Amino acid sequence: MSEYRGILVIAEQNDNIIHKVSYELLNKAKELAHTLNVPLNCLLIGNDGIAAEELNYRGADTVYYIKSKIFSNPEEYLYKQNIVEFINENKPEIILIGATNFGRSLAPRIAAALKTGLTADCTDLKIDDEGHFIQIRPAFSDNILAYIKTAKLPQMATIRYKEFNEAEKDLNRKINIVEIEPYFNCYNKSKTIKTFKELGVDITEAKIVVAAGRGIKKKEDLKMIETFANKLGGVMGVSRALVDAGMISSSYQIGYSGNRVKPKIYIACGISGAPQHLAGMKESGLIIAINSDPSAPIFSIADYGYVGDLYEIIPYLIRDIE
Q: What is the pLDDT of residue 53?
A: 97
State the pTM of this model.
0.84
Strand partners, 289: 268, 305
Q: What is the pLDDT of residue 251?
A: 86
The residue-averaged pLDDT of 239-257 equals: 90
> Which tens digits make up the pLDDT trace of 123-140?
999 999 999 999 999 887
The residue-averaged pLDDT of 218-245 equals: 95
pLDDT reading at 36 higher than 90: yes
DSSP-derived pairing of the beta strands 133-139 and 124-127: antiparallel
CATH code reported for the domain at 203-321:
3.40.50.1220
- Could you state, in order of their start, the residue ranges of all structural domains in the chain? 7-180, 203-321
Query: 7-180: what fold?
Result: Rossmann fold (3.40.50)
pLDDT reading at 201 higher than 70: no
pLDDT reading at 199 higher than 80: no
3-class DSSP assignment, residue 108: helix
Q: How many C-alpha atoms does 154 have within 13 Å on its Cβ side?
A: 27
The residue-averaged pLDDT of 40-49 equals: 95
Q: Do the two domains 7-180 and 203-321 of this chain adopt the same fold? A: yes
The residue-averaged pLDDT of 74-86 equals: 93
pLDDT reading at 190 higher than 90: no
